[in-house]
Structure 1
C-alpha cells in the first residue's frame, strides 16, 4: 500500500527542503532544540500538518521519536511528487498540558489544516478539546487514553488504547504463565498509567491471575521506589507489572538491582525507550518484557526500510513512537487520497472529509500485527500489540 523510494533520494532533497515552514529550528540528528520541521513543499501546495510533543525535558525520547518518524514519512511522500504533499511543523510542549495548549495555538496561527495531536497523554487530553472545538482533525500517534478521543468525533488514535493494553497484558501474563504473584507499581496522577492499571486489575480478576498488591507514586515522588519495591518483595511477588513510562521504570530496575531483588518485569508501550535512557545501565533491562505495536528487528521490507532511513538520518534505532508517527502520516495520505482532498481546502472542510473517510479505510502500516489497521467512528483504533522481550540489548518477539 505504500510506495517506498530509496532513502538516499529523500535525503538528497533534505537540505533544499528543510527551510520551508521552519520558525528557527532545523530538522536533523541529535538536537533536542529540533522543535520545528518541514516536509519541503511550498505553502499553498501542501497540507499543513502540525503536532505537539515533548522535544525537550524528561519525556523528550517520545516527542523526538514521533517528530522524526513523521519527518521521514513526509520527506518520502513529498519526494514521490504526487498530489499529496505535506508541510510538517512540531512545537515543543515539554509534556505539560498548559504548554501543549500554547503550542497548539501557535500551530493554529501558523495555519495548521490537519493535526498529529499531542504525543503524550496529559497534553493530548488538553489539546484534543481544542481540535474538536476548532474542527481541526487530529490523528495522534501515541496519546493513548480514552479521554483523548472521548466525545470528540474528529480526534483519532494510531496507538492502541490504555484499556486495551491493560487487558492484553493481563491475558498475556496469564496465558504464558509468567508470574504466580503479580505486584503493580503505577503512577496515580497520570491518566495513562491509571487507565492501564484499572483494566489490568479487572482482567486479572476475571482470569484468576494473582495480583498480590499494588503501590503508587506521583510526579513529585518518582525518584525513590524503595518503599514500593520493599512492599513487592515482602509480598513475594515474582513479577512486577509496570504500566508507566521508561524514565521511572529505569529507576525501578536500578533500585531493585541494588536491593538484590530479581523479579520478572513486564511493561507496556511506555517502556519503549528504556534502552536509550541516559545514564541507565541497559544490562539491567535484560529479560524485561513489554507489549508494543512495533519491533525494529522485524525482517519485513517496510520495517527494515524505515529502520535504515531512521538510523541513517538520526543515528539511532527507532522506537514504536517513531513508527506510530510514520504510520500516521501515511494513513493521512491514504485518507486524503480516498476522500479526494486538496490543500486549498480549509481545515473545517478537511475535518468533515476525514471524519467520513477514516472509519471506511483499512491501513497497512509498520505497527500492529499485520492484519491491517482500522478505526471506528469514535476514533478508536483496532490493531493488536506484539509481545517483546529485551535480549542482548534488543527487542525480540516472544511469540
Structure 2
C-alpha cells in the first residue's frame, strides 16, 4: 500500500511538471524537440507579384532537397514550409504566425519590401534569424537579427547610375517611378543623387501611384519631349510591360534600364516580348550565363519546375546555402532555442564567405547588408544575356 501511494505521488509530481512545461510552450526560449531544422518562407504565390514568390519558393525547395540529399546541416535534415502573403503586410504577419505555430526556427523572407518591414518587427521581438532573398527597403532588415542577399534600394540606385555613366549608355536620362512604393522611391532617390555626381543629366522625373498605374501616356510624352535617350524604370515588371507597350504606340524608342523588379517582364501574360528587346536591368543572375554553377542550377530547376529560373529563384537558392554555411560555422543544432540559434547566426553570418549564383565572394556586415559585385543583363532574342 505504501508503495502504491509512492507511485501515485510520483505520478502527480510528473504530471505537474509536464503541465508547468506546457504552460511555457509559447516562449521563444523553449528548446526544440525536433531532430530537424524547420525553415519557413513567406512570399506572394498569388496576386500581382506571384512570379517573385513562386520563384523564391522553388529556389528554396531546390536547395533544401540538395542539402538534405547531401546529409543536411550539421548532419540534420531540413523541413521547409512556405506561406503565401500576396505581397500584403497584414497577410505576411499572419503567415509568420502560422509558421511560428508550425515550429519555424529560421525565416527566409519575406519576398517584397513592405511585408518584410512588417514581419522583421515580429522576428526581432522573437529574436528569430531572418534572411530575405529580395526585400530591398532599408527598413526591411533594420534589426540585428535580419540579413539580406540582394542589394538594398539605395545600393541599386547608386549601382544603376554608376553602370549607366561608366558604360556611357546615355547623356540625358528620364525616370518614371512609383511615388507610392518604397522600393521604387528608394531606388529613385539614390539614383538621382548618384546621377548628379556622375554628371548624368536627368531631364525628366515623372511619378505615378498605385491608383494610376495603367495609363502612362503623360509620363512617356514628357520623357519623349525632354529628349531623353534612356528611361530609367525603378519599378516592377507589370507596370514596365505597360510602359513599353504604350511607348511603342507613341513612337518613342529610347533605351530602357531597370533594376531587379523588371525580372519577370518576359513572362507577363499577353505582353509582346519583342518590345523588351534591348531592355537592360541590374540583376546579379542570368540563366544564360555560361559558368558551370549557373548551368547546373538552371538544368535542375527546369527539370523540377518546368520553367526557367529568374533572379529571385537564384537569390533564394543562395539564401539556403548561406544559412547552411553560417549554421555549420556556428555549430547550430535543431535542439537549440530559436533565440540561441539567432544569436549564433548573427555572429557567424559576418564570418562566412560564399560563392553563390548571385555573386562570388559574398560577405556580410553586422548591419545585414551583403557585399558583392553589381551586374547587368540585356534582353536579347527573348532571353536575358549577361553584359
Distance in structure 2 (CA, Å) of the matches to 1:153 and 1:275: 36
2:327 corresponds, among 331, 336, 339, to 336
Q: Is the 8 A contact 1:374 1:383 kept in 2?
A: yes
In the alignment, does 2:111 pair up with 1:122? no
In the alignment, does 2:54 pair up with 1:64? yes
Match of 1:147 in 2: 139
Note the alpha carbon deviations across 1:91-141, whole angstroms, 9 max, x for none.
111011111111111111111100012001111111111111111100000
Match of 2:67 in 1: 77
In the alignment, does 2:84 pair up with 1:96? no
Match of 1:25 in 2: none
Q: Is the 8 A contact 1:132 1:154 kept in 2?
A: yes
In the alignment, does 2:125 pair up with 1:133? yes
Distance in structure 1 (CA, Å) of the matches to 2:140 and 2:271: 31
Q: Is the 8 A contact 1:183 1:211 kept in 2?
A: yes
Residue ranges of structure 2 left out of the alignment (5+ in a row): 1-32
SS in 1 for 2:349: helix
Match of 2:7 in 1: none
- Displacement of 1:392 after TM fit? 0.4
- Displacement of 1:57 after TM fit? 0.5
SS in 2 for 1:262: coil
Pick the structure with greater CA Rg. Answer: 2
Q: With structure 1 as the length reference, what TM-score do the two structures score?
A: 0.87
Note the alpha carbon deviations across 1:365-391, whole angstroms, 9 max, x for none.
1102x2x10000011111122121111
Distance in structure 2 (CA, Å) of the matches to 1:221 and 1:49: 38
Distance in structure 1 (CA, Å) of the matches to 2:77 and 2:261: 31
Q: With structure 2 as the length reference, what TM-score do the two structures score?
A: 0.90
Change (3 A) 1:84 1:159: farther
Match of 1:112 in 2: 104
Residue ranges of structure 1 left out of the alignment (5+ in a row): 1-42
- Displacement of 1:81 after TM fit? 2.4
Note the alpha carbon deviations across 1:321-345, whole angstroms, 9 max, x for none.
0000000001111111111111111
Distance in structure 2 (CA, Å) of the matches to 1:251 and 1:362: 40
In the alignment, does 2:378 pair up with 1:389? yes
SS in 1 for 2:354: coil
Distance in structure 1 (CA, Å) of the matches to 2:140 and 2:76: 27
Distance in structure 2 (CA, Å) of the matches to 1:366 and 1:114: 22
Distance in structure 1 (CA, Å) of the matches to 2:246 and 2:264: 18
Q: Is the 8 A contact 1:117 1:128 kept in 2?
A: no
1:187 corresponds, among 178, 182, 186, to 178
- Displacement of 1:45 after TM fit? 2.2
- Displacement of 1:51 after TM fit? 1.6
SS in 2 for 1:240: strand
Q: How many residues align?
A: 353
Distance in structure 2 (CA, Å) of the matches to 1:130 and 1:384: 31
